[in-house]
Chain A
Amino acid sequence: AQSVTQPDIHITVSEGASLELRCNYSYGATPYLFWYVQSPGQGLQLLLKYFSGDTLVQGIKGFEAEFKRSQSSFNLRKPSVHWSDAAEYFCAVGANSGGYQKVTFGTGTKLQVIP
Chain B
Amino acid sequence: DSGVTQTPKHLITATGQRVTLRCSPRSGDLSVYWYQQSLDQGLQFLIHYYNGEERAKGNILERFSAQQFPDLHSELNLSSLELGDSALYFCASSVGVSGGFHTDTQYFGPGTRLTVL
Main secondary structure of the interface of A (DSSP, over half): strand
B84 in the interface (beta carbon within 8 A) = no
Q: Which residues of A contact B92 (CB under 8 A)?
A: 43-44
A32 to B105, CA, bound (A): 12
B55 touching A101 by the CB < 8 A rule?
yes
A101 touching B42 by the CB < 8 A rule?
no
A43 touching B109 by the CB < 8 A rule?
yes
B111 touching A105 by the CB < 8 A rule?
no
Q: Which residues of A contact B44 (CB under 8 A)?
A: 105
B101 touching A101 by the CB < 8 A rule?
yes
A106 to B110, CA, bound (A): 20
Closest to B45 in A: A103
Given A44-B90, A45-B108: A105 in contact with B43 (beta carbons within 8 A) = yes
A44 touching B56 by the CB < 8 A rule?
no
A61 in the interface (beta carbon within 8 A) = no
Min CB distance, B3 to chain A, in Å? Answer: 11
B108 touching A44 by the CB < 8 A rule?
yes
Known: A100-B56, A101-B102. 14 other contacts (CB 8 A): A43-B92, A44-B43, A45-B108, A51-B102, A51-B103, A101-B48, A101-B55, A103-B45, A103-B58, A105-B42, A105-B43, A105-B44, A105-B45, A108-B43
Interface residues of A (CB under 8 A from B): 32, 41-46, 49, 51, 90, 94, 100-108
